[in-house]
């Protein structure tokens, strides 16, 4: 467009962000209208909210010259006009709204595409015929778009700032990469803060009159408080409500239930629960797989539910809340539960386990996360390829979280995901193995203690520790990594960690206190190392590897060593 005096790419990015929010409103309003259609009621305010979202999207698209997006939004406005004038909503109205919203989403994905989607013309014709706009509607639309473009061309910038009003919040949009860069700098500040504190402590021992050490210690304390406040403020900036993810799911559940001819109600709670933007961006896919699984495998058909004395409409609950320094996300259904016997036989058919192998209930549940595992008899557009649950487990592990499953036959299944609030800075327990120091995320640590070697028992080659009447399997970290380090003949330093309700003792050489650390990913040159999730720079400047507790415990259980040790101890063999 001639005469542009602004960064068009930046405004297109802003347009996309706002358009995504508007599409969310359009979808949620359409879902509400569908509920009212089923109940035979009409709420004009919902139609008005839908109209406002479409009108805003149309105006913004027209201002940037995206006429196809503006035209679809305009036709959907006409449909809203018809609904308002007749004060009724028909099922076909809702279907057209959903079709229009999906088309807008595809257009938004590539607003500057050279050619419109093949189904765009058909949808516009359906909207024009069904909404029955006035004969001059097309001319009026074209005139409105021309007026908007003329106003934009005459202005120095496409958006003029409005004067601030009494108590109005002032906000800006910030690219997440800029916040990531700032967080890295804060991480370096945290490392140097720890380094200065260590220098002050060392100097205090050598400084006779203590003057220099005291001054340095006071400066280190001030730096510590300032760095802490900066870190806390930055983390708050990065926190966003998980509702940004949750708002996608009512439509998902509705579409899957309709495709599978089921009746399902989704109840959402805790949408305002906040967590790091990075986690919010990545948690959507695993949650989507779990919800699809609940609808497809968990909820029974209306007829089967009635035969089991259940309501025809199945219920799925999606909830989020904070618990300590973690966020808990729960997805539960009141369906048929997991048929563990069927899981067992399918696993045998697929060669995952042998028919003679003894598996606990928890181990049977874990099989549903095996790559390629499925209980579906046929492949559909919803499930059957055995990829969904495997993706869920890998995604949650990548986010340094873990997943728990509780199921009851005939009563339903509940998936519980536990995630850290942030992936950048954590509290860790430092341990020494040989001459090297390692870090353990503190949220996985239950306790640490020194035990005599006579307290360790060996059963079928597997070491266990009896702790307050409970069996705690042991994993020697040095041997896990293949390090040539001799065992202490008198005692063992054990860190008890808990993962998914399983306690395991990690044997190290020494405990070296707690410290706040900044997580750094391993270089692509190094590649992935089993049992290591990253690295950190300590206050001394030394590099310490961060132990992947989940991988260590999972490997021990997957190999069967820990399971055999537990079974042997319980059975007394």
Question: How far lies 199's CA from each of 36, 191, 194, 531, 538, in Å?
Answer: 68, 13, 9, 32, 13
Domain assignment of residue 1, yes or no? no
pLDDT tens for 531-568 read 888 888 886 778 889 998 877 877 766 655 555 455 44
Phi, psi dihedral angles at 345 (to 5 degrees): -70, -35
SS (H, E, C) 175-239: CHHHHHHHHHHHHHHHHHHHHHHHHHHHHHHHCCCCHHHHHHHHHHHHHHHHHHHHHHHHHHHHE
Domain assignment of residue 3, yes or no? no
Please state at what angle helix 120-131 crosses helix 67-86, rounded to 10 degrees. 30
Q: Is 177 exposed, middle or buried (0-12, 13-18, 19+ CB in 10 A)?
A: exposed
Q: At a CB cut-off of 8 Å and minimum separation 6, what does 376 contact?
A: 296, 297, 383, 384
User: Which residues sit opposite 425 in a β-bridge?
Assistant: 518
Same domain, 429 and 537: yes
Same domain, 252 and 398: yes
Q: Is 475 exposed, middle or buried (0-12, 13-18, 19+ CB in 10 A)?
A: buried
Whole-number pLDDT of residue 456:
85
Domain assignment of residue 187, yes or no? yes
Q: What domain range is 61 assigned to?
A: 8-154
pLDDT tens for 215-226 read 887 887 788 788
Positions of E strands within 277-372: 314-323, 326-333
Mean pLDDT of 163-190: 69
Residue 205: pLDDT band (50, 70, 90) is confident
Of residues 200, 232, 231, 203, the one with CA closest to residue 218: 200
Same domain, 262 and 397: yes
Residue 208: pLDDT band (50, 70, 90) is low
Same domain, 533 and 439: yes
Q: Is the pLDDT of residue 188 over 80?
A: no
Whole-number pLDDT of residue 374:
74
Whole-number pLDDT of residue 269:
93
Q: Could you tell me which residue, 165 or 60, shows the higher pLDDT?
A: 60
pLDDT tens for 493-522 read 999 998 766 788 999 999 998 888 878 777
Of residues 458, 507, 461, 460, the one with CA closest to residue 487: 507
Same domain, 75 and 224: no
d(CA 516, CA 92): 57
Q: What is the residue-averaged pLDDT of the chain? A: 80
Whole-number pLDDT of residue 161:
37
d(CA 440, CA 477): 12
Q: Is the pLDDT of residue 163 over 60?
A: no
Mean pLDDT of 441-470: 83
Domain assignment of residue 163, yes or no? no
What CATH number should be reported for the domain holding residue 122? 1.20.120.160
Same domain, 555 and 409: no
Q: Is the pLDDT of residue 164 over 50?
A: no
d(CA 156, CA 495): 64
In the numeric block, the tokens 């050619």 are attached to 115
Mean pLDDT of 295-323: 93
Whole-number pLDDT of residue 198:
77
For residue 544, the number of C-alpha atoms closer than 13 Å in the C-beta half-sphere is 30
Domain assignment of residue 267, yes or no? yes
Q: How many domains does the chain have?
A: 4
Same domain, 466 and 381: no
Domain assignment of residue 165, yes or no? no
Asked if 312 and 268 touch (Cβ cutoff 8 Å), the reply is no
pLDDT tens for 248-294 read 899 999 999 999 999 999 999 999 998 888 888 889 889 999 999 99
Asked if 483 and 452 touch (Cβ cutoff 8 Å), the reply is no
Same domain, 393 and 264: yes
In the numeric block, the tokens 């005599």 are attached to 452
Per DSSP, 297 falls in state I
Same domain, 412 and 475: no
Domain's final residue, options 240, 271, 293: 240
| Phi-psi group of 188: left, alpha or beta (phi > 0 → left; psi -120 to 50 → alpha; rest → beta) | alpha
Q: At a CB cut-off of 8 Å and minimum separation 6, what does 208 contact?
A: none
What CATH number should be reported for the domain holding residue 554? 2.40.50.180
Q: Is the pLDDT of residue 399 over 60?
A: yes
Mean pLDDT of 231-251: 86
Same domain, 416 and 270: yes
Same domain, 337 and 438: no
Domain's final residue, options 210, 240, 270: 240
Asked if 241 and 271 touch (Cβ cutoff 8 Å), the reply is yes
Name the 3-class secondary structure at 426: strand
Same domain, 396 and 434: no
d(CA 170, CA 178): 19
Domain's final residue, options 420, 448, 480: 420
DSSP string, 244-268: HHHTTHHHHHHHHHHHTT--EEEEE
Mean pLDDT of 410-421: 90
Domain assignment of residue 160, yes or no? no
Residue 14: pLDDT band (50, 70, 90) is confident
Domain assignment of residue 349, yes or no? yes
């Amino acid at each position: 467009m001639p005469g542009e005096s602004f960064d068009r790419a930046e405004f297109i990015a802003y347009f996309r962000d706002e358009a995504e929010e508007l599409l969310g409103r359009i979808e949620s309003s359409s879902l509400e209208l569908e509920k009212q259609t089923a109940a035979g009621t009409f709420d004009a305010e919902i139609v008005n909210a839908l109209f406002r979202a479409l009108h805003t999207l149309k105006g913004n698209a027209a201002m940037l010259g995206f006429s196809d997006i503006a035209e679809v939004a305009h036709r959907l406005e006409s449909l809203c006009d018809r609904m308002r004038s007749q004060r009724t909503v028909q099922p076909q109205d809702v279907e057209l709204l959903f079709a229009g919203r999906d088309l807008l989403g595809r257009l938004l994905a590539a607003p500057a595409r050279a050619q419109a989607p093949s189904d765009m013309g058909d949808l516009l014709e359906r909207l024009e015929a069904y909404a029955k706009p006035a004969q001059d509607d097309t001319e009026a639309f074209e005139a409105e778009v021309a007026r908007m473009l003329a106003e934009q061309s005459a202005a120095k910038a496409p958006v003029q700032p409005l004067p601030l009003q009494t108590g109005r919040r002032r906000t800006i949009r910030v690219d997440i990469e800029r916040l990531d860069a700032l967080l890295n700098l804060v991480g370096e500040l945290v490392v140097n803060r720890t380094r200065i504190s260590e220098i002050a402590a060392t100097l205090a021992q050598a400084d006779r009159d203590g003057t220099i050490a005291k001054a340095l210690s006071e400066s280190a304390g001030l730096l510590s408080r300032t760095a802490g406040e900066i870190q806390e403020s930055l983390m708050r900036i990065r926190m966003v409500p998980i509702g940004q993810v949750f708002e996608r799911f009512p439509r998902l559940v509705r579409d899957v239930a309709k495709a599978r001819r089921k009746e399902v109600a989704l109840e959402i709670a805790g949408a305002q629960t906040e967590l790091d933007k990075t986690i919010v961006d990545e948690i959507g896919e695993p949650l989507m797989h779990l919800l699809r699984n609940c609808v497809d495998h968990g909820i029974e058909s209306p007829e089967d539910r009635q035969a089991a004395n259940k309501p025809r409409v199945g219920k799925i609950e999606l909830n989020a809340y904070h618990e300590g320094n973690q966020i808990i996300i729960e997805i539960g259904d009141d369906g048929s539960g997991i048929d563990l016997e069927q899981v067992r036989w399918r696993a045998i058919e697929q060669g995952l386990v042998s028919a003679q192998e003894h598996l606990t209930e928890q181990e049977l549940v874990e099989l549903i996360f095996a790559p390629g595992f499925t209980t579906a008899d046929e492949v559909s557009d919803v499930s059957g390829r055995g990829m969904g649950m495997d993706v869920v487990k890998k995604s949650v592990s990548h986010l340094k979280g873990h997943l728990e499953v509780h199921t009851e036959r005939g009563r339903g299944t509940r998936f519980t995901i536990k995630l850290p609030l942030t992936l950048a800075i954590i509290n860790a327990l430092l341990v020494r193995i040989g001459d090297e120091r390692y870090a353990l995320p503190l949220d996985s640590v239950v306790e640490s203690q020194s035990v005599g070697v006579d307290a360790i028992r060996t059963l079928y080659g597997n070491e266990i520790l009896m702790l307050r009447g409970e069996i705690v399997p042991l994993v020697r970290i040095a041997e896990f990594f293949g390090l040539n380090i001799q065992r202490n003949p008198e005692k063992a330093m054990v860190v008890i960690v808990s993962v998914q309700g399983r306690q395991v003792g990690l044997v190290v050489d020494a405990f070296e206190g707690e410290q706040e650390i900044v997580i750094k990913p391993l270089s692509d040159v190094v590649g992935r190392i089993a049992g290591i999730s990253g690295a950190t720079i300590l206050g001394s400047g030394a590099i310490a590897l961060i132990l992947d507790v989940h991988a260590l415990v999972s490997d021990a259980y997957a190999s069967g060593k820990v399971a055999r040790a537990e079974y042997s101890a319980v059975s007394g063999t």
